[in-house]
């Protein structure tokens, strides 16, 4: 006889099923309360604390003292090592036994002197599997160690995620015991969860929603949580849903395990090393139990950390990489900022990253993996293609505050015409949890429906690490081919992008930069980091150029390749997308400044060595007095300028003529700067409503130098009771720009300092330098896409020109800028308080320059003058007054910049020179050299020579052709 049918109310049926899974409601009689069976206390628990991050071998030799559950440890950034002695009861034979560990902080289990499992409550990892099914022959008693970092998955902010760290925070051990884990209960819980989520998310208008709800309700009726004999029938009932397959047209989601680890952010670099180990060793454990599981992992620097600090774990990673399951991706040294590094720095990110992956894993990456950066330069497509990369994945543009980007899958075209196939995972996250809602969003949010039927889904805890969990994998298995849901399959980047390639004929193309309409304060925050970056990019350039020249002139000179690689890697590390942008805690800033100091110091020594090797006979070797100066120019053009002394006297007048009538040039202005949430990251459009000119004169104008080759004046302005600007305005006789050497004693809170130049120039667009080129942005706010760019980024220069005349604004270390209508503005300093309360507080020194010009900025040489401002001449005392003039390279076309000269990575007898077309023109030019070159071969940005592209050495040098903004590398083989 059939049972009586009860009329089900959707709400009560749904809540009944939810309560059956609840951790807090009715755990005495629901299914969740049966996840763990018998428990057993530990034999003993002891610990010791240290402010240092020490290796396991050193830790286990320390004196451990008894401790217990409920005790607290710390403070922040310390490490507490626990010695855990345990004995598994004999009567638990055949059962799955876990060490249940719940504590604040991030933990790592060590067993037999090897890391075996990460434990992080925030990352839903609170147990370590001691045995899947205890055998009599297995040891029942053993000792393991748990290393607990006194910081959470997201650092130790006080009160909010991005608040400065609480230095006195304490961390508590809440649970430490042995438990029997009921695997059959876990499987049922996942079944229930998927069905309940389908019922909720599919909605009342979807018949599948009601099917899953009624099945879940029947399962509750059928299941006796105290009698495991009822479990098989309940699981069979669940499978009646999961076994109903999709049609052939269903959307396919390519799921890939992921674990985004910020190389530094709310924690220092050293803690990131341990985050990598904790996260990746957990991935290895999951791979042992889930043969279909694939995991993608970027950032060569992090692999290098694990290789050096955890060699046993690294060997396991390499084994799974050979199987194609632990998959290195991205091709860069770190996931760098996509806006601020120079073009050459971006090349080195790929060069160092791709070479590492080739050497360590036997293959180059085909995809650039940059999910979490704050915008994407329009030069990136060319750099990717030049480094063996044809695919690009990111998702951060989904954070844009104003406009919704119109595509999920498309071709991205750079300023030179290079294209890469690009995908934005429609789930808008790189840290999915494998839930029904996320898979449906991934399908429904696809903005290219009808053109593409495949999407990527990256799952696993991220930012602070953690990675995937077994529960995530179990959820995805049940959604592999279930009617009502998209198909979900474990995949790889190669498999996924290859499927997109088959559908590429229907894709749209996006040309130009991918501008993030958020986090535009990162162009200015932490000015000292940005200054250090620009300076170190310059000094590394100079060290390589001079060392390359020395290599060609002296057979005894040893090119310092190992030292330079070390220094470049330090710089590249600091270009990580939360360090160079300034969105990091004070400890990270201190690390970054220390690395910059090391680069400056060591490069200074390398330059001295190269100069001595090149010009040793001209340099003093003892107490003799120098008679002259040896002047070294590391740029590929003569540094004599086009303006005479008489002309220099009129430069000031030209500057004044270029200023809008009734307005002041070089006007310092200050704004209130309180974003909605992301303090160090964001500048909101409403800050513009609070503009206040700085006009209080602290020290009146005084003449410093009266004229001749240089004239200058100096003054000071009072910003506030706590902050002062002192500026020297410098006019050089042989220079077409007016320099502003600026010192600021800055002690503000949530204020934004800029300098403005209102110009007598009208143009619909302004031009901004980017990596290896430039682009235009509108000066008007016609559309939401226009006004969302109220604060943008630029490199060494920007320019506002009308036909026949314009004004360029140059700088030596600034990146934030804007041009609205005719007002050109350079962003100077911010004062956020989270996550670093000391950000930008203190003294600053920087230079900018205004350069009015006739004709276009290309014809006026703005690009070269911006280089000159950033690359000062080197002067060395010499004993001879007859220092010979010597030139290593020259380029005939002013449109082509010789950016880099370095030793080839794989040929000791080779130099690589890198040039780019800077004007946006098609041009043929000659590269002349006095170096002993016997052969020239075109190569890509990874320095792989093109055997079919030998370049003839002619009387005038090398004849090279360029298309607009093209970057070219040439391998020069030297005569021995």
Return the active site residues.
372
Handedness of CA 642, 648, 652, 653 (dihedral sign): negative
Cα–Cα distances (Å) from 336 to 369, 577, 594, in that order, read 10, 5, 19
Number of residues assigned to the chain: 976
| φ and ψ of 312, to 5 deg | -65, -45
> How far apart are alpha carbons 354 and 923 in whole angstroms?
31
Q: Count, in order, helices (H) and strands (E) of the chain.
A: 20, 46
Q: What tokens were used for 284? A: 């290895």
> How far apart are alpha carbons 699 and 727 in whole angstroms?
10
Q: Strands of 896-903's sheet, edge to edge?
A: 896-903, 910-917, 967-974, 933-939, 945-951
Handedness of CA 695, 699, 702, 705 (dihedral sign): negative
Handedness of CA 150, 153, 154, 157 (dihedral sign): negative
Query: What is the pairing mode between strands 141-149 and 106-111?
Result: antiparallel
Handedness of CA 19, 25, 29, 35 (dihedral sign): positive
User: 714 and 728 in contact (C-beta within 8 Å)?
Assistant: yes
Q: What tokens were used for 693? A: 């000119």
User: 395 and 424 in contact (C-beta within 8 Å)?
Assistant: yes
User: 829 and 848 in contact (C-beta within 8 Å)?
Assistant: no
Kindly provide the b/e burial profile for residues 252-273, where b requires at least 16 CB atoms within 10 angstroms of the residue's own CB. Answer: bbbbbbbbbbbbbbbbbbbbbb
> How far apart are alpha carbons 906 and 890 in whole angstroms?
25
Q: Write the DSSP symbol of residue 578.
A: T
User: 813 and 523 in contact (C-beta within 8 Å)?
Assistant: no
Q: What tokens were used for 337? A: 């900022």
Q: What tokens were used for 850? A: 């205004």
User: 153 and 106 in contact (C-beta within 8 Å)?
Assistant: yes
> How far apart are alpha carbons 403 and 786 in whole angstroms?
10
CA 322 from centre of chain:
27
User: 892 and 634 in contact (C-beta within 8 Å)?
Assistant: no
CA 17 from centre of chain:
42
| φ and ψ of 666, to 5 deg | 55, 45
Give every CB contact of residue 85 below 8 A, 6+ residues apart in sequence: 42, 43, 44, 45, 141, 142, 143
- Structural Rg of the chain based on CA atoms: 31
> How far apart are alpha carbons 397 and 575 in whole angstroms?
20
> How far apart are alpha carbons 590 and 600 in whole angstroms?
15
> How far apart are alpha carbons 797 and 774 in whole angstroms?
9
> How far apart are alpha carbons 119 and 98 in whole angstroms?
12
End-to-end CA distance of the chain: 99
Residue whose structure tokens are 């089900």: 8
> How far apart are alpha carbons 774 and 795 in whole angstroms?
9
> How far apart are alpha carbons 130 and 96 in whole angstroms?
8
> How far apart are alpha carbons 669 and 674 in whole angstroms?
16
> How far apart are alpha carbons 380 and 418 in whole angstroms?
9
């Amino acid at each position: 006889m059939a049972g009586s049918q009860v009329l089900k109310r959707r709400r009560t049926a749904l809540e009944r099923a939810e309560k059956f899974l609840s951790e807090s409601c009715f755990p005495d009689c629901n299914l969740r309360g049966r996840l763990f069976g018998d428990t057993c206390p530990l034999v003993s628990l002891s610990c010791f604390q240290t402010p240092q991050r020490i290796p396991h071998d050193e830790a286990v030799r320390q004196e451990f003292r008894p401790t217990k559950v409920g005790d607290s440890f710390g403070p922040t950034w310390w490490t507490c090592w626990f010695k855990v002695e345990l004995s598994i009861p004999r009567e638990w034979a055949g059962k799955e036994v876990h060490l249940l560990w719940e504590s604040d902080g991030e933990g790592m289990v060590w067993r037999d002197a090897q890391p075996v499992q990460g434990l992080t409550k925030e990352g839903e990892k609170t147990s370590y599997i001691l045995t899947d099914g205890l055998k009599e022959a297995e040891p029942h008693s053993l000792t393991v160690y748990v290393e607990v970092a006194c910081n959470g998955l997201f650092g130790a902010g006080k009160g909010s995620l991005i608040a400065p760290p609480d230095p006195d925070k304490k961390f508590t051990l809440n649970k430490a015991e042995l438990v029997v884990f009921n695997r059959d209960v876990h499987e049922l819980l996942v079944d229930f969860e998927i069905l309940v989520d389908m019922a909720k998310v599919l909605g009342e208008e979807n018949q599948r929603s009601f099917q899953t709800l009624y099945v879940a309700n029947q399962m509750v009726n059928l299941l006796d949580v105290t009698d495991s004999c009822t479990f098989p029938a309940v699981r069979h009932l669940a499978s009646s849903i999961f076994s109903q397959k999709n049609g052939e047209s269903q959307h396919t989601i390519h799921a890939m395990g992921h674990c985004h680890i910020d190389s530094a952010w709310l924690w220092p670099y050293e803690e990131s090393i341990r985050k990598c180990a904790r996260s990746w060793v957990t991935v290895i454990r999951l791979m042992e139990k889930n043969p279909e599981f694939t995991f993608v992992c970027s950032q060569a620097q992090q692999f290098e950390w694990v290789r050096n600090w955890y060699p046993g774990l690294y060997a396991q990673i390499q084994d799974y990489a050979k199987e194609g399951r632990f998959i290195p991706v991205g091709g860069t040294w770190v996931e760098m900022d996509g806006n601020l590094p120079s073009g050459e720095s971006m090349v080195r990110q790929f060069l160092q990253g791709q070479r590492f992956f080739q050497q360590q894993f036997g293959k180059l990456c085909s995809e650039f993996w940059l999910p979490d950066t704050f915008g994407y330069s329009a030069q990136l497509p060319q750099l990717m293609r030049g480094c063996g990369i044809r695919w690009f994945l990111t998702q951060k543009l989904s954070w844009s505050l104003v406009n919704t980007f119109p595509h999920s899958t498309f071709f991205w075209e750079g300023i030179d015409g290079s294209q890469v196939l690009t995908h934005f995972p429609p789930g808008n996250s790189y840290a999915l949890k494998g839930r029904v809602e996320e898979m449906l969003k991934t399908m429904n949010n696809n903005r290219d429906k009808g053109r593409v039927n495949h999407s990527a889904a990256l799952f696993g805890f991220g930012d602070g690490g953690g990675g995937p969990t077994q529960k995530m994998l179990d959820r995805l298995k049940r959604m592999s081919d279930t009617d009502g849901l998209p198909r979900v399959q474990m995949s790889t980047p190669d498999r996924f992008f290859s499927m997109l390639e088959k559908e590429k004929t229907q894709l749209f193309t996006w040309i130009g930069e991918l501008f993030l309409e958020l986090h535009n304060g990162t162009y200015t925050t932490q000015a000292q980091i940005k200054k250090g970056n620009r300076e170190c990019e310059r000094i590394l350039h100079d060290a390589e150029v001079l060392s390359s020249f020395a290599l060609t002139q002296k057979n005894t000179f040893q090119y310092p390749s190992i030292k330079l690689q070390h220094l470049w890697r330090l710089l590249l590390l600091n270009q990580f997308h939360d360090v160079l942008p300034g969105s990091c805690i004070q400890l990270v800033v201190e690390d970054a400044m220390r690395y910059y100091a090391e680069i400056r110091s060591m490069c200074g020594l390398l330059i001295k060595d190269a100069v001595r090797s090149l010009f040793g006979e001209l340099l003093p070797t003892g107490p003799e007095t120098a008679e002259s100066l040896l002047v070294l120019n590391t740029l590929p053009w003569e540094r004599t300028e086009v303006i005479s002394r008489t002309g220099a006297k009129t430069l000031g007048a030209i500057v004044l003529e270029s200023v809008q009538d009734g307005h002041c040039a070089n006007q310092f202005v200050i704004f209130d700067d309180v974003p909605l949430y992301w303090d160090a990251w964001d500048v909101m459009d409403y800050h513009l409503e609070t503009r206040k000119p700085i006009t209080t004169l602290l020290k009146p104008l005084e003449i410093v130098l009266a004229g001749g080759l240089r004239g200058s004046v100096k003054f000071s302005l009072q910003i506030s009771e706590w902050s002062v600007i002192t500026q020297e305005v410098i006019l050089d006789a042989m220079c077409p720009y007016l320099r502003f050497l600026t010192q600021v004693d800055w002690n503000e809170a949530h204020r934004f300092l800029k300098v403005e130049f209102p110009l007598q120039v009208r143009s619909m667009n302004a031009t901004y330098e980017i990596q290896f080129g430039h682009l235009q942005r509108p000066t008007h706010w016609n559309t939401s896409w226009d006004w969302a760019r109220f604060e943008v980024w630029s490199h060494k220069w920007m320019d506002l020109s009308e036909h026949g005349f314009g004004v360029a604004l140059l700088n030596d270390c600034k990146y934030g800028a804007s041009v609205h209508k005719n007002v050109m503005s350079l962003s100077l300093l911010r004062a956020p308080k989270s996550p670093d309360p000391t950000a930008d507080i203190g003294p600053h020194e920087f230079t900018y320059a205004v350069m009015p010009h006739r004709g276009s900025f290309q014809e006026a040489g703005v690009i070269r003058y911006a280089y000159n401002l950033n690359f000062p001449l080197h002067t060395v005392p010499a004993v001879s007054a007859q220092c010979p003039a010597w030139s290593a390279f020259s380029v005939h076309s002013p449109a082509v910049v010789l950016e880099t000269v370095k030793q080839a990575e794989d040929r000791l007898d080779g130099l690589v020179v890198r040039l780019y077309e800077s004007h946006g023109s098609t041009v043929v030019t000659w590269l002349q050299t006095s170096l002993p070159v016997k052969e020239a071969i075109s190569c890509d940005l990874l320095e792989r020579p093109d055997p079919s592209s030998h370049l003839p050495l002619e009387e005038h040098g090398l004849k090279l052709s360029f298309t607009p903004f093209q970057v070219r590398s040439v391998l020069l083989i030297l005569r021995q």
